[in-house]
């Protein structure tokens, strides 16, 4: 139905339209049905149809009960490790000291699993080693700078001191690696101390904690799948309700080819990595971008939509930077007061950001992904159009938030819960609104995109989202299929 036909139909019925309603109706699955329902449910000539009237119609996906779906035949197996509850948060200098000591200890433990680093030196030992000695040190990056001659100087710190490490520009491969190093990274350095009295190390190799080539993973034969979702942004004018409803219909096996419906039948779990709603007051002038202007109503609509998900699918929900919870990471779960409908749904598990989930033997690390803003701006070769590449940096560094003091506020605690201490089968992020999937040493890296079309803010930054897609991971084959709902 063309927009002009919609206007004519309402004029015939002697009804007026709020300026936002036309776009709202046009973007819906069946505009002509919505128009007729609005006309028949509105009393009084000359009345103005508002966005609230359209929302009140509650476009529903009707759950039809028939034979058992494949996923329905299996009992769920869920173990959650919500690290936001791990350590008490301390907003003081001592809290930050504990936080970075914990990061160092966790990194040291991972490095020491490599045989050749078991006998690594402390910075103090390296400083005292004299000239031309082979040393191996493990520490946090205090700072990185370029020398006048174009070499890279990395200041490495451990509890015993700080030592400068030089990466010569003539060692091209190592110099290239050094460009990916950021402040607060944990790093292993093998090198030789300077020729006279030492006090400086010339690097021969540099490495991040990384993921081991071989690790034990659980093989399962159940034909079940996990849907990976993020950045729904309900409340925004750009929320793609029509496409999201198509996704819900697919989960209900109502749309798609027979092969796609068969895949839908196998979805047993859904993991949502934050930004469920657009929120309120997230950036200046956001109010003009909202068609649902209060956050309680945004979560209410979200709950209504999630109630349309088949009742055998377990849903794990963590927050993002648009959600109603603490902004500093690790974030606590979305507050119950704002989203009571989600807490009332027995199939929904509300967790913090980040969170580890083991689902039928498959371990998923869900993290919203705000630190990708820092990685993309600081590490050459990364971009918003290839989110999986930026996520690979996080995995190799074993840090969800590598840099302290940039765009991500961090809440310090007795433990650095943002260190990746358990290598997952799936690293799942969102935040950047583009979809990307890749595999690295047995870990599937997934960015699940969004259900929000390009906002004015993104237009100004020349960011091109890639919304309306949902990656589906099959547990038995470890294969990921990207379902498109646009």
Per CB under 5 A, the segment of 130-138, 176-184, 215-223, 226-234 that binds Fe ion is 226-234
Per the CB < 8 A criterion, the answer to whether 330 and 352 are in contact is yes
406 binds Fe ion (CB under 5 A): no
C-beta pairs of 405-410 under 8 Å, 24+ apart in sequence: 405/183, 406/373, 406/374, 406/378, 407/370, 407/371, 407/373, 407/374, 408/329, 408/370, 408/371, 408/373, 408/374, 409/327, 409/328, 409/329, 410/99, 410/328, 410/329
Residue nearest to Fe ion (CB): 275
Nearer to Fe ion, 190 or 373 (CB): 373
Smallest distance from the beta carbon of 272 to Fe ion, in angstroms? 12
CB of 275 to Fe ion, least distance (A): 3
CA gap 145, 166 in Å, rounded: 10
Shortest separation between residue 230's beta carbon and Fe ion, angstroms: 7
298, 304 contact by CB (below 8 A): no
Kindly state the number of chain residues that form the binding site for Fe ion, as judged by CB under 5 A. 2
CA nearest 394: which of 363, 360, 430, 369?
A: 369
Shortest separation between residue 431's beta carbon and Fe ion, angstroms: 6
Of 98, 184, 275, 278, the residue at the interface with Fe ion (CB under 5 A) is 275
Q: Peptide bond preceding 330: is omega within 30 degrees of 0, i.e. cis?
A: yes
Please tell me whether residue 239 adopts helix, strand or coil conformation.
Answer: strand
**Given the rule CB under 5 A, which of 12-20, 103-111, 225-233, 337-345 is the region that contacts Fe ion?**
225-233
Give 275 or 388: the residue with its C-beta nearer to Fe ion: 275
98 vs 275, which CB is nearer to Fe ion? 275
Q: How far is the CB of 377 from Fe ion (least distance, A)?
A: 17
Closest CB to Fe ion among residues 51, 319: 319
Q: CB 480: neighbour CB atoms within 10 A?
A: 19
Nearer to Fe ion, 34 or 292 (CB): 292
Nearest residue (CB) to Fe ion, 102 versus 455: 455
The least CB distance from residue 283 to Fe ion, in Å, is 12
Chain centroid to CA 197: 48
Residues 6+ apart with CB under 8 A from 378: 182, 403, 406
Handedness of CA 452, 453, 459, 462 (dihedral sign): positive
Other beta carbons within 10 angstroms of residue 145's beta carbon come to: 10
Q: Which of residues 230-249 bind Fe ion (CB under 5 A)?
A: 231
Give the shortest CB-455-to-Fe ion separation in angstroms. 10
Nearer to Fe ion, 103 or 431 (CB): 431
Tokens read off for 223: 């034909």
Q: Which residues bind Fe ion (CB under 5 A)?
A: 231, 275
């Amino acid at each position: 139905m063309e927009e002009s036909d919609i206007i004519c139909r309402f004029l015939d019925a002697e009804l007026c339209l709020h300026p936002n309603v036309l776009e709202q109706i046009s973007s819906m699955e069946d505009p002509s049905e919505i128009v007729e329902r609005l006309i028949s449910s509105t009393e009084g000539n000359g009345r103005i149809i508002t966005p609230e009237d359209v929302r009140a119609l509650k476009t529903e996906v009707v759950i039809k009960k028939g034979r058992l779906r494949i996923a329905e035949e299996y009992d769920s197996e869920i173990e959650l490790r919500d690290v936001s509850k791990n350590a008490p948060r301390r907003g003081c200098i001592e809290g930050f000291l504990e936080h970075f000591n914990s990061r160092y200890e966790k990194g040291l433990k991972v490095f020491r699993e490599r045989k050749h680093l078991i006998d690594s030196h402390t910075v103090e030992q390296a400083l005292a080693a004299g000239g031309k000695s082979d040393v191996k040190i493990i520490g946090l990056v205090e700072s990185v700078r370029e020398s006048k001659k174009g070499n890279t100087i990395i200041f490495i710190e451990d509890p015993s001191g700080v030592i400068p490490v030089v990466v010569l520009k003539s060692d091209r491969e190592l110099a290239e690696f050094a460009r990916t190093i950021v402040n607060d990274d944990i790093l292993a350095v093998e090198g030789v101390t300077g020729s006279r009295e030492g006090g400086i190390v010339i690097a021969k190799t540099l490495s991040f904690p990384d993921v081991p080539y071989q690790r034990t993973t659980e093989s399962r034969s159940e034909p079940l799948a996990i849907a990976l979702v993020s950045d729904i942004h309900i409340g925004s004018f750009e929320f793609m309700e029509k496409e999201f409803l198509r996704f819900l219909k697919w989960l209900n096996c109502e749309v798609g080819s027979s092969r796609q419906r068969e895949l839908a039948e196998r979805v047993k779990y859904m993991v949502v990595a934050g930004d469920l709603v657009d929120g309120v007051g997230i950036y200046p002038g956001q109010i003009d971008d909202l068609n649902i202007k209060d956050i309680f109503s945004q979560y209410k609509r979200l709950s209504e939509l999630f109630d349309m998900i088949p009742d055998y699918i377990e849903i794990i929900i963590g927050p993002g930077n648009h959600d109603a919870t603490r902004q500093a990471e690790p974030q606590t779960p979305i507050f119950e007061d704002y989203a009571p409908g989600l807490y009332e749904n027995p199939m929904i598990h509300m967790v913090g950001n980040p969170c580890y989930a083991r689902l039928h033997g498959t371990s998923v690390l869900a993290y919203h992904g705000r630190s990708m803003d820092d990685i993309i701006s600081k590490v050459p070769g990364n971009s918003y159009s290839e989110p999986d590449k930026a996520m690979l940096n996080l995995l190799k560094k074993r840090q969800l938030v590598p840099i302290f003091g940039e765009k991500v506020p961090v809440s310090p605690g007795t433990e650095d819960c943002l260190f990746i201490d358990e290598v997952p089968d799936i690293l799942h992020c969102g935040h950047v609104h583009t979809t990307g999937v890749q595999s690295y040493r047995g870990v599937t890296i997934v960015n699940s995109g969004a259900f929000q079309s390009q906002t004015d803010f993104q237009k100004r930054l020349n960011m091109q989202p890639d919304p309306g897609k949902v990656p589906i991971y099959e547990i038995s084959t470890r294969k990921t299929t990207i379902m498109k709902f646009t």
